[in-house]
Amino acid sequence: MSYDLWDLYLATRKERLAQRLAKTDELLESARNDQHVFGIGQVLSEVDREVRIRCAESGRPRSMLMFASNSYLNLNTHPALRRAAKEAINSFGLGTGGSAAFNGHTRLHQMLEERFAELLGTESAILFPSGYAANVGVVSGLLRPKDRLIGDDHVHASCWDGAKTAGVRRTQRFRHNDLDDLRERLGEEVSPDADTYAVVESVYSMEGDRAPLPEFVALCEENNAIWIVDNAHGVGVYEDALVRDLESANGVGGVITASFAKGYGVPGGVAGGSSALMDHLRFLSRSHVFSTSLSPVIVAAALEGMDLLERDPTIRERLWMNVEYLTKKLTPFGVDQNGGSPIVIVPVPEEMDAKKAAKILYDEGILVNYSAFPAVPREEQRFRICVMSRHTNADLDRLEKAFERVWSSCLQGA
């Protein structure tokens, strides 16, 4: 019996609710019978390089090495951010009790917006409840139904969701990181009263590679297209926040969005651009206007995270040392040493049973994300490893040994 999540997704597009609920129940029962685990179960501890969970399969607690967390710098558990959060509770309480457009904008929120504008190199910035909300809010707040959105084939779903919210009738994709294909799309005729927007990610979350940002921006501006860069995996993680080549974001031509989670270890999102663009979004971005603003606890922790990374550059340095160490270790498994991000992709050979391989890693006490056939084509199956600053060489060696066992056990004919 199949327990393919892709089948379930397709069902949501054509079947009524009762049929979809029955299919979900069938999928989960099949997974239990096959001893397949979709999630890790309950998390019983803070999420650091090691995490304690209640196993979804057995119900028993166990410790696992964490290679699936996007808190690359481990600031989500840092004592300095904990202290800042506690001080914010004493001064501001747990929540603002309102939208940022009304009574939910505190002194801390203003400080964080100013810090992000400085970090992103933009005139202004506004906060959102999450990175997802930032992308949805920017796209839906700027585009009209008559406008056109062109996105990299691997850009985050939130960008397309923003286009749906805005009722955009013309959306297009270009081949991943293929600027020639983008140029061809930009050259297509559009209505004289329509704007064209193009969107990429600075670092692609499912690929681990980076966009050619200077060339992308130049191409957009040559073709009078308004560009959007989703910088979720760049801000905080990279010393220059990957915005060195995006100075023109202060013109009408560009917007940078980002998430707090990857660099600063807390939920939240931000958009930066010209003052005119940000003022427009403060009133017309639905995910900004109609959401309770970020908790002061989160805002204070993010501010402390920025200060901490300025005081202690070794946090980033350890991350990049770990990335270099692990990519060299995993080169025999097809890892590209030139990825340049904390997201390390291990391609799964077409003849390998990826679900069986993932189960072996799980049984070895290793938590990684994976994409398996038929959710993706066989040639695109992969393990997605997230490297963190606090991983030790012993952790990374243990991961390498686990992959050696996977390769010896799961390749057909082994």
Q: What is the CATH number of the domain that holds 57?
A: 3.90.1150.10
pLDDT surpasses 80 at 34? no
Strands, E, within 231-377: which ranges? 254-259, 269-273, 343-347, 366-367, 369-371
- State whether 35 and 181 are in the same domain: no
> What's the pLDDT at 295?
97
Chosen domain end from 284, 310, 336: 310
Mean pLDDT across the chain: 90
| Those residues with Cβ within 8 angstroms of residue 333's Cβ, 6 or more apart along the chain or in another chain | 346, 347, 403, 407
Q: What is the CATH number of the domain that holds 289?
A: 3.40.640.10
More confident residue, 1 or 388: 388
Query: Would residue 51 count as lying in a domain?
Result: yes
Is the bond leading into 374 cis (omega within 30 degrees of zero)?
A: yes
Q: How far, CA to CA in Å, does 286 sit from each of 103, 194, 255, 266? A: 16, 22, 17, 22
Query: Would residue 6 count as lying in a domain?
Result: no
Chosen domain end from 285, 310, 335: 310
> What's the pLDDT at 102?
87
Query: Would residue 23 count as lying in a domain?
Result: no
- State whether 275 and 324 are in the same domain: no
- State whether 60 and 207 are in the same domain: no
- State whether 83 and 129 are in the same domain: yes
- State whether 195 and 294 are in the same domain: yes
- State whether 267 and 229 are in the same domain: yes
Nearest to 51 by CA among 59, 60, 37, 61: 61
Q: Where does residue 172 rank: exposed (0-12), middle (13-18), buried (19+ CB within 10 A)?
A: middle
Residue range 259-271: mean pLDDT, rounded: 96
Query: Would residue 293 count as lying in a domain?
Result: yes
List, for residues 285-312, the tens digit of each pLDDT value: 999 999 999 999 999 999 999 999 999 9
> What's the pLDDT at 9?
67
pLDDT band per the 50, 70, 90 thresholds, residue 33: low
Query: Would residue 22 count as lying in a domain?
Result: no
pLDDT surpasses 70 at 241? yes
- State whether 209 and 332 are in the same domain: no
> What's the pLDDT at 3?
47
- State whether 251 and 349 are in the same domain: no
Q: What's the domain count of the chain?
A: 2
Query: Would residue 202 count as lying in a domain?
Result: yes
Which residue segment(s) compose the domain that 228 sits in? Answer: 78-310
- State whether 275 and 374 are in the same domain: no
More confident residue, 34 or 47: 47
Report yes or no: 12 and 20 within 8 Å, Cβ to Cβ.
yes
List, for residues 52-86, the tens digit of each pLDDT value: 998 877 788 999 999 999 999 999 999 999 999 99
The answer to pTM > 0.75 is: yes
Chosen domain end from 310, 338, 366: 310
Query: Would residue 148 count as lying in a domain?
Result: yes
- State whether 260 and 332 are in the same domain: no
pLDDT band per the 50, 70, 90 thresholds, residue 4: low
Give the distance, in angstroms, between the CA of residue 34 and the centroid of all CA atoms in the same chain.
30
List, for residues 206-237, the tens digit of each pLDDT value: 889 999 999 999 999 999 999 999 999 999 99
Find which of 14-18, 26-30, 210-214 is predicted with most confidence, using mean pLDDT. Answer: 210-214
pLDDT surpasses 90 at 167? yes
Query: Would residue 15 count as lying in a domain?
Result: no
Nearest to 302 by CA among 124, 133, 115, 125: 115
